[in-house]
Amino acid sequence: MSAPVLSKPNLEVQHRGWLTAAIMLATIMQVLDTTIANVALPHMAASLGASQEEINWVLTSYIVASAIATPMTGWTVDRLGRRNLFAIAIAGFMASSLLCGIATGLEEMIAFRVAQGIFGAVLVPLAQTVILDINPRERIGQAMAIYGAGIMVGPIIGPTLGGWLTEYFNWRYVFLINLPVGALALIGVLIFLPNGQPRARRFDFFGFAMLALAVGALQLLLDRGQAVDWFQSVETWLYCGLAIAGLWVFFIHCWTAEDPFVDLRMFRDRNFSMGLVFIFIIGMTLFSGLALLPPLLQGLMGYPVMTTGLVMAPRGMGTMLSMIVVGRLVSKYDARVLVLFGLGATAAASWMMTGFDTVMDDRLVIWSGVVQGFGLGFVFVPLSTLTFATLDARFRGDATAFFSLVRNVGSGVGISIVTTVLARMVSVNHEELASRLTIDSPQVHMQAPGLLSGNPTYVRIFDGLVSQQAAMLAYLDNFFLMLLLTLAAVPIVFFLRSPKAGGPAPQMPPGEH
């Protein structure tokens, strides 16, 4: 029996494997920097002479700059070509990483992190575009599995790697490690990626400015909201107003302009639009868990930084295992069934996490992480395949940029929600638990008779125990919220269309490669 004939990819390359490796090195380098610096912040603050609130701008500046620059991917790849843009972005990211590693003051660090965010913003959507273009439709599932491994494992191993580098070397190596990785990626891209034919495309400055205003204001709202007590502050209302106004004007402008910054016709594709809603929810659940576990393990359970990283590492192993499995299954089974399985596993992991307590060992943390990582892999790969399965290839540059942008915004929203819920529920739970511990309470007579005498030492000890339990209950509330968010994504699956096996992939018109 003769082998089945594969459809042709949109971009023919001679060494697809080597090019994919180079692209993924660049992708992993960028996504690692979203979490690798988190554990190094206290050491960074001491070295740069910054307060705890000031040093947080090292994270905020990178996130905001990256979010604003991400939508420019489609326009810049048209103007410069794939290889030129990839090379410029990798080289710029390496240079700004070097400058971050040798920074001597907070102002320098923030400026270099802004540059790092701008150069790194195009790497993830451009990598996804290239992988979609160089693979025939029959291999898109396996290609997305490789891509998804970098996107999802990178943030998971970031805190572990960052903690190890900070503890055994210096916080500066958190940035300097990008240099050898970036060098390999740059060489691979220059050798194996054809540039393509750049095409003239007018830059819609007004459309970009409105989108940048909306995205930047939204990111600042999410980052600063908890610190200024959300909508009790004029600052938050200002960010909210700017985000809504910017987004409204952006869509009206793109709808009426002759040559807009983004062609809104791509949102007519149902799979793409539903995929954006879906990845927004997945972004919320993925990064929320990563934000909750380190303070839980270190603050309540007393784990050292390195032990925290090691306990969380199996989550990445679960993701890698699922990528291997789902890459083979996605071309044989309905991708929507695989997504539903992944959502089920992710929901099961969140349910397992609602069973955490302050005196448990690390087994439940490890196994829930493995199950969650495995489930998210089954969600991300087929979702990425379905999102772009029916989309015209000429929209891929802008579409992958929006896909990355929405995932990042989702993660910001998710982190803000769980942070706020945690802070509020700690207070509520503490008040509820304390109200039950009266002089007449049987628990006080049996377990804390010293409180009856009013001894300050006993009062402090018991208040500490109440605070610990209140905090744990607040974490459990968040894990249950993540379970509900995961289940909320289930109905969206039924709005996605599964492309007919063997049908033609959407092709780019001649001359627009």
pLDDT tens by residue, 141-184 = 677 777 777 776 666 677 777 777 877 788 888 888 889 989 99
The answer to whether residue 2 sits within a structural domain is no
pLDDT in tens, 276-333: 888 888 888 777 777 777 778 877 777 776 777 778 778 777 887 887 788 778 777 7
Q: 458: exposed, middle or buried (C-beta count within 10 Å: 0-12, 13-18, 19+)?
A: middle
The count of residues in the chain is 513
Residue 7 has what pLDDT?
Answer: 57
Residue 286 has what pLDDT?
Answer: 73
Residues 179 and 215 in one domain: no
The answer to whether residue 359 sits within a structural domain is yes
Residue 88 has what pLDDT?
Answer: 92
**Domain hosting residue 190, numbered range:** 11-199
The answer to whether residue 508 sits within a structural domain is no
Q: How far apart are CA 150 and CA 30, in angstroms?
A: 10
Helix, strand or coil, per DSSP, at residue 510: coil
Residues 252 and 277 in one domain: no
Q: How far apart are CA 293 and CA 308, in angstroms?
A: 8
The answer to whether residue 511 sits within a structural domain is no
Q: How far, in Å, are 150, 247, 287, 316, 479 from residue 154 at the CA level? A: 6, 30, 12, 8, 22
Helix, strand or coil, per DSSP, at residue 193: coil
What is the 3 state secondary structure string of 251-265? HHHHHHCCCCCCCHH
> For 40, which DSSP code?
G
Residues 189 and 232 in one domain: no
Query: What's the first-to-final CA gap in the chain, in angstroms?
Result: 35
Residues 131 and 44 in one domain: yes
Helix axes 16-32 and 140-168, enclosed angle (nearest 10):
40
Tokens for 291, please give them.
């934000």
The answer to whether residue 493 sits within a structural domain is yes
Residue type present at position 62: Y
Q: How far apart are CA 234 and CA 405, in angstroms?
A: 27
Q: How far apart are CA 146 and CA 304, in angstroms?
A: 32
Residue where the block lists tokens 């989702």: 410
Residues 166 and 181 in one domain: yes
Radius of gyration of the chain (CA): 24
Q: How far apart are CA 492 and CA 279, in angstroms?
A: 11
Q: Give the residue among 491, 97, 108 at the shortest CA–CA distance from 274.
A: 491
Residue 503 has what pLDDT?
Answer: 41
The answer to whether residue 512 sits within a structural domain is no
> For 56, which DSSP code?
T
The answer to whether residue 507 sits within a structural domain is no
474: CATH: 1.20.1250.20
Asked if 358 and 469 touch (Cβ cutoff 8 Å), the reply is yes
Q: What is the DSSP string of 436-492?
A: T--TT-HHHHHH-GGGGGT-HHHHHHHHHHHHHHHHHHHHHHHHHHHHHHHHHTHHH
Number of domains comprising the chain = 3
> For 298, which DSSP code?
I
> For 196, which DSSP code?
-
Residue 183 has what pLDDT?
Answer: 92
Maximum distance among all Cα pairs of the chain, rounded to whole angstroms: 88
Last-in-domain residue among 153, 173, 199: 199
pTM: 0.73
Q: Give the residue among 90, 112, 92, 93 at the shortest CA–CA distance from 103.
A: 112
Residues 243 and 335 in one domain: no
Residues 211 and 338 in one domain: no
What is the 3 state secondary structure string of 228-297? CCHHHCHHHHHHHHHHHHHHHHHHHHHHHCCCCCCCHHHHHCHHHHHHHHHHHHHHHHHHHHHHHHHHHH
Residues 275 and 229 in one domain: no
Tokens for 227, please give them.
């610190």
Residue 99 has what pLDDT?
Answer: 92
Residues 360 and 461 in one domain: yes
Q: How far, in Å, are 34, 126, 313 from residue 27 at the CA level? A: 12, 9, 19
Asked if 432 and 304 touch (Cβ cutoff 8 Å), the reply is no
Residue 420 has what pLDDT?
Answer: 80
Q: What is the DSSP string of 156-183?
A: HHHHHHHHHHHHHT-TTHHHHTHHHHHH
Residues 367 and 389 in one domain: yes
The answer to whether residue 129 sits within a structural domain is yes
Give every CB contact of residue 246 below 8 A, 6+ residues apart in sequence.
210, 211, 212, 213, 214, 215, 217
Residues 73 and 190 in one domain: yes
Last-in-domain residue among 199, 220, 245: 199
Q: Which ranges of the chain have pLDDT less than 50?
A: 1-6, 501-513
Asked if 120 and 30 touch (Cβ cutoff 8 Å), the reply is yes
Q: How far apart are CA 114 and CA 92, in angstroms?
A: 11
Residues 245 and 144 in one domain: no
**Beta-carbon count within 10 A of 436 CB:** 10
Q: What is the DSSP string of 333-370?
A: S-HHHHHHHHHHHHHHHHHHHTT--TT--SHHHHHHHH
Last-in-domain residue among 178, 199, 220: 199
